Amino acid sequence: MKAIETKELTKRFGTFTAVDHISFEVEEGEIFGFLGANGAGKTTAMRMLSGLSTPTSGEAVVAGFNVYSEAEQIKQHIGYMSQKFSLYGDLKVWENIRLFGGIYGLPEKKLREKTDELLQTLGLESERNTLVDSLPLGWKQKLAFSVAIIHEPNIVFLDEPTGGVDPVTRRQFWELIYEASARGITVFVTTHYMDEAEYCNRVSIMVDGRIEALDEPAELKRQFQAADMNGVFQALARKATRGE
Amino acid sequence: MKQFASFIRKEFYHIFRDIRTMLIMLVMPIILIILFGYAITTEIKSVPFAVLDRSRDEVTTRLTDRIGASEYFNLYKLLDSEEEAQDLFRQGKVRLVVVFPPQYASSPDAAIQLLADATDPNEATQLTGYATAIITAAKTDAIVQTMPIGIIPVVHLLYNPLMKGAYNFVPGVMGLILILICAMMTSVGIVREKEMGTMEILLVSPMKPVYIILAKAVPYLLLSMVNITTILLLSYFLLEVPIMGSLFSLVMVTVLYIIVSLCLGLLISTVADTQQAAMLISGMALMLPVMLLSGMMFPIENMPKLLQWLSNIVPAKWYIIAVKDIMIKGLSITSVLKETGILILMAFVLIAISVKRFKIRL
């Protein structure tokens, strides 16, 4: 079974076609990079796949469930971390963990184990009772990611998860992503940072609502005769007619 | 159910950790009650008055004493001339002057002149009314003593014999506080989640949107009940406003009004995109009408037709009428069927609109 399968997936807002007949597949356990300039339709596509918005036409199956008829089951099997901050700043670290564990219906005992394990992995044991607001941004993002996969989803959607932090912190964040992927969690990630694109197993690049390229980073570089992913992106983004 | 419980717990954390919210929730009702109870009062109490007595006989002295002895007036001075009265008015020393004509005792039908400071016309009307009442009462007493036959008018003020302002504003403050807490707080709470981006996280979670909304509403409903209890206790023990009707009916009507307020908050949250906008809309669209159009401060009957008509869509108006009927007049819930019916109707309309809008927006 594929983690995600879409066929001619389309979303229109009035006369504006935000996502224009996109078709792609994501393998289980894969780290799939979803790239595109601002306004290319990444977020809209991601919202359709995570059940936040209904497609205008086309097909999509996420974790084996149809986005039209089985949106509720999809919600049980995915995790989501948005570009805006996804935790509650006025709640303590452990309270956030418990809240989201509770929302996803984790039993009390499991939740306690998970909390300890998670805090240990992140090295946040001493910050258990700290308000999330007072943590540094990099830590918040790592915590938000760990909370997004606390219920061991099949797929986790990350919408520009590392905005605003330095490359070293980003690298640390990606180590968490690799760990999750090694455990079999499929990672679907949008990003602006081309160094992050290099970390993905496969990358798709959206331009004006369509997927213009989809392959492994190395293959894309060869195809576009570019030294790095930035070169690939520039070559494609130049074709864009849509502004921000 | 476990989801729901952990979500409600989260809402309480939000409330208890925000000092501003806590202040609004718990301190404001007390401050409002005390403000309206002691400072902003329309009651007439110990108003200084002067007497220009051109007659100086037994009857006028007795009348003067009688007015001064009432809790509404305090005798400031006995005057010798009209100029003196003018001066006292100008200096703001007195707000009422009683002028007795010469030989009043021998001509009991002679008119007594009442001079009042009409810069505040409402107050002037009230002052002259009170003074007239006292003088009439004194005269009838005198008549009873001298001539036993005759028609004696006896004025009875129903439900609020002491003409206490508290009887009017306690229901008003309840209407104000509830709409403020339920509507403003709920709308700001929901909009904050939208603004912070956490609403998206909640919507991709298996938690049903209706539970998200309900979980937001439950803490405010509970805290409103706490507030109502505080207000009722304060008004009962501090301001001595009795609860004549059944407490149960009062609570039922209040819960209904809280539900209407929560729906209003939900509606606002679907319109506003930022917390400030939600605040502003709540302030303009809820607080002002409650203060001005609910009959809490200004009698609706005296308003222009358009405003009278507008006041009908202010939920607080109906709530305040119902509370007054139950609490002050001691009527049963069956006599406020019209008001409760209107509130139920409002709740349904608001729920319908906001549920529709909520789906479109998210």
How many domains does the structure of chain B reveal?
A: 2
B108 pLDDT more than 70:
no
Statement: residue B128 has pLDDT above 90: no
User: What amino acid is encoded at B333 in this protein?
Assistant: I
Task: Give domain status of residue B154, yes or no.
Answer: no
B24 part of a folded domain = yes
Whether pLDDT at A70 is above 70: yes
Closest chain B residue to the Cα of A48, Cα to Cα? B204
B196 touches chain A (CB under 8 A): yes
Residues 6+ apart with CB under 8 A from B173: B29, B32, B33, B36, B231, B296
The answer to whether residue B110 scores a pLDDT higher than 80 is: no
Higher pLDDT: B303 or B149? It is B303
Q: Which of A2-6, A168-172, A211-215, B22-26 has the lowest mean pLDDT?
A: B22-26
pLDDT band at B148 (very low <50, low <70, confident <90, very high): very low
Give the minimum alpha-carbon distance from A189 to chain B in angstroms, rounded to a whole number: 16
- Chain B residues within an 8 Å CB radius of A75: 204-206
Chain B nearest-CA distance from A125, in A, is 21
Which residues of chain A are within 8 Å of residue B3 when distances are taken between CB atoms? 102-103, 105
Cβ-nearest to B204 among A51, A90, A98: A51
| Share in percent of chain B as helix, strand, coil (round to 5) | 70, 5, 25
Output the average pLDDT for chain A.
90
Under an 8 A CB cutoff, do B6 and A88 touch? no
A86 contacts on B by Cβ (under 8 Å)? 197-198, 200-201
User: Is residue B295 situated within a structural domain?
Assistant: yes
Q: Which pLDDT score, from 0 to 100, does residue B149 have?
A: 47
Q: In Å, how far is B218's CA from the nearest CA of chain A?
A: 17
Cβ contact, residue pair A105, B3, below 8 Å:
yes
- Contact call for A88 and B207, based on CB within 8 A: no
pLDDT of residue B156: 67
E strand or H helix at A236:
helix A229-237
Q: pLDDT tens digits for A153-186? A: 999 999 989 888 888 889 999 999 999 999 999 9
- State whether B170 and B122 are in the same domain: no
The answer on B296 and B198 residing in a single domain is yes
Contacts of B14 in chain A (CB under 8 A): 88, 90-91
Say whether both B174 and B274 belong to one domain.
yes
C-beta atoms of B206 and A85 within 8 A: no
Residue partners of B203: CB distance under 8 A and separation at least 6: A52, B209, B212, B362
Residues B209 and B351 in one domain: yes
pLDDT, one tens digit per residue, over B2-50 is 788 888 999 999 888 888 888 888 888 888 888 877 766 666 778 899 9
* Chain A residues touching chain B at CB-CB below 8 Å: 50-52, 72, 75-76, 78, 80-91, 95, 98-105, 157
Which domain, by its residues, includes B262?
Answer: 2-40+164-361
Name chain B contacts of A87, Cβ cutoff 8 Å.
198
What's the rounded Cα separation, in Å, for the pair B109 and B107? 6
- Position B331 pLDDT exceeds 90: no
According to the model, what pLDDT value does residue B298 have? 75
B243 Cβ partners below 8 Å, 6+ apart?
B232, B236, B250, B327
Which tens digits make up the pLDDT trace of B150-194? Answer: 455 566 667 766 666 677 778 888 888 888 888 888 898 889 888
pLDDT in tens, B62-99: 888 888 888 888 888 888 888 888 888 888 888 889 88
Question: A165 or A64, which is more confident?
Answer: A64
Q: How confident is the model at residue A49 (pLDDT cuts 50, 70, 90)?
A: very high
**pLDDT of amino acid B62:** 85
Same domain, B317 and B273: yes
B151 is a domain residue: no
Q: What confidence score (pLDDT) does residue B150 get?
A: 47
Task: Say yes or no: B19 and B53 in one domain.
Answer: no
Q: What is the count of residue pairs from A and B with beta carbons less than 8 Å apart?
A: 73
Residues B35 and B55 in one domain: no
Q: Please tell me which of the candidates A50, A99, A104 has its beta carbon nearest to residue B206.
A: A104
On chain B, the residues whose CB falls within 8 A of the CB of A78 are 204
* Same domain membership, residue B173 and residue B264: yes
Give the model's pLDDT for residue A92: 94
Q: What is the mean pLDDT of residues B222-251?
A: 87
Q: For residue B13, what is the nearest residue in chain A, using CA coordinates?
A: A91
Q: Residues for chain B: how many in total?
A: 362
Taking CA atoms, what residue in B is nearest to A94? Answer: B10
Q: Please give the structure tokens belonging to residue B258.
A: 């809280």
Q: How far is A204 from chain B (nearest CA, A)?
A: 23
Contact B261, B294 (CB under 8 A): no
In this structure, of A53-67, A216-230, B119-133, B229-243, the range with the lowest mean pLDDT score is B119-133
Q: Is B205 helix (H, G, I), strand (E, B) or coil?
A: coil
Task: Check whether A35 has a pLDDT greater than 80.
Answer: yes
* β-pairing verdict for B47-53 and A155-159: unpaired
**Domain locations in chain A?**
4-87+154-237
Asked if B14 and A88 come within 8 Å (Cβ–Cβ), the reply is yes
Please report, rounded to a whole number, the percentage of residues in chain A having pLDDT higher than 90. Answer: 59
In a domain, B257, yes or no: yes
Pick among B1, B4, B6, B15 to test the A interface (most A CBs inside 10 A): B6
Q: Are B257 and B321 a contacting pair, CB within 8 Å? A: no
Contacts of B17 in chain A (CB under 8 A): 90
Contact A85 B196 (CB under 8 A): yes
B293 CA to centre of own chain: 11
User: Are residues B6 and A51, on separate chains, in Cβ contact within 8 Å?
Assistant: no
CB contact under 8 A, A82 and B201: yes
Q: Which residues of B touch A91 (CB under 8 A)?
A: 10, 13-14
B140 and B168 assigned to the same domain: no
Q: How many CB atoms lie within 10 A of CB A210?
A: 16
Closest Cβ–Cβ partner in B18, B203, B205 for A104: B205
The 8-class DSSP code of residue A20 comes to E
How far off is chain B from A78, nearest CA to CA, in Å? 8
Check residues B167 and A31 and name the one with the higher pLDDT. Answer: A31
> Does residue B6 belong to any structural domain of this protein?
yes
CA-based nearest residue in chain B for residue A50:
B204
Amino acid identity of residue A8, one-letter, is E
Contact residues on chain B for A72, CB-CB shorter than 8 A: 206
Best mutation site among A47, A81, A84 for testing chain B: the one with the most B CBs within 10 Å? A84
Give A98's contacts in chain B (Cβ within 8 Å): 6
- Cα B105 from Cα A162, distance rounded (Å): 95
Binned at pLDDT 50, 70 and 90, residue B293 comes out as confident
User: What distance in Å separates the CA atoms of residue A94 and residue A116, rounded to the nearest whole number?
Assistant: 9
B200/A99 touch (CB, cutoff 8 Å), yes or no: no
Smallest CA–CA separation between B14 and chain A, in Å? 7
Predicted pLDDT at A163: 83
Contact A187, A30 (CB under 8 A): yes
Q: H or E stretch including A188?
A: strand A186-190
Question: Nearest by CB to B7, which of A72, A86, A103?
Answer: A103
DSSP for B314-355 reads -HHHHHHHHHIIIIIS---GGGGHHHHHHHHHHHHHHHHHHH
pLDDT at B124: 81
Q: Which residue has the higher pLDDT, A153 or B136?
A: A153
Nearest to B13 among A75, A95, A104 (CB): A95
* Domain end position, chosen among B87, B119, B146: B146
Please report the residues numbered 113 through 142 in chain B whose beta carbons come closer than 8 angstroms to any beta carbon of chain A: none
User: What pLDDT was estimated at residue B141?
Assistant: 74
CATH topology of domain A4-87+154-237: Rossmann fold (3.40.50)
- B304 located within any domain: yes
Burial of B108 (0-12, 13-18, 19+ CB in 10 A): exposed
d(CA A39, CA A32): 19
Q: Which of B92, B91, B90, B97 is nearest to B53 (CA)?
A: B97
Of B151 and B225, the one with more pLDDT = B225
Distances (CA, A) of B275 to B114, B186, B194: 54, 11, 9
Q: Would you state the pLDDT for residue A79?
A: 93
Question: In this structure, what CATH number is given to the domain that contains residue B119?
Answer: 3.40.1710.10
CA B60 to chain centre: 39
The pLDDT of residue B154: 60
